Amino acid sequence: MKITKFEDIIAWQKASKLTLNIYKTFSNCKDFSFKNQVERASISVMNNIAEGFERQTNKDFRNFLFIAKGSCGEVRSMLSVAENLKYITKEDYASIHKQTVEISRILSGLIKTL
């Protein structure tokens, strides 16, 4: 199946769900700079997939996928801090961590195909 729009990309769909999950999970976080950073990192995952796809060259798309993968790692890193500071529960940590690992795996596969 040929992908004609970025919304059809599974990694983007999952990154979109990750972003919604991050916003919901951190909605009551009082550490506003931390909250802002983790939200921006999650949005960066989905936006870099979208921007790279819209560039319409495999080289550009691949570069943006690497950036998205890096942002996904940033979210995962911040989750560790959030759990240690008790900003989120162990359950939220496990759930979101699982999402980020899956997205990173999908991005790696997509990068390899390009």
* Number of domains the chain contains: 1
CA-based nearest residue to 75, from 17, 14, 18, 27: 18
The CA-based dihedral angle spanning residues 53, 59, 70, 28, taken in that order and rounded to the nearest 10 degrees: -20
Residue 1, pLDDT > 90, answer no
Taking CB atoms within 8 Å and a gap of at least 24, the contacts of 83-88 are 85/31, 87/26, 87/29, 87/31, 87/34, 88/25, 88/26
Report if residue 100 sits inside a domain: yes
For residue 90, give the CATH number of its domain.
1.20.1440.60
- How would residue 2 be classed by pLDDT, with cut points 50, 70 and 90? confident
Report if residue 8 sits inside a domain: no
Report if residue 7 sits inside a domain: no
Report if residue 34 sits inside a domain: yes
Report if residue 62 sits inside a domain: yes
The pLDDT value given to residue 47: 98
Q: Which domain holds residue 104?
A: 15-113
Q: How many whole angstroms separate alpha carbon 41 and alpha carbon 8?
A: 21
pLDDT tens digit sequence for 30-67: 999 999 999 999 999 999 999 999 999 999 999 999 99
Report if residue 5 sits inside a domain: no
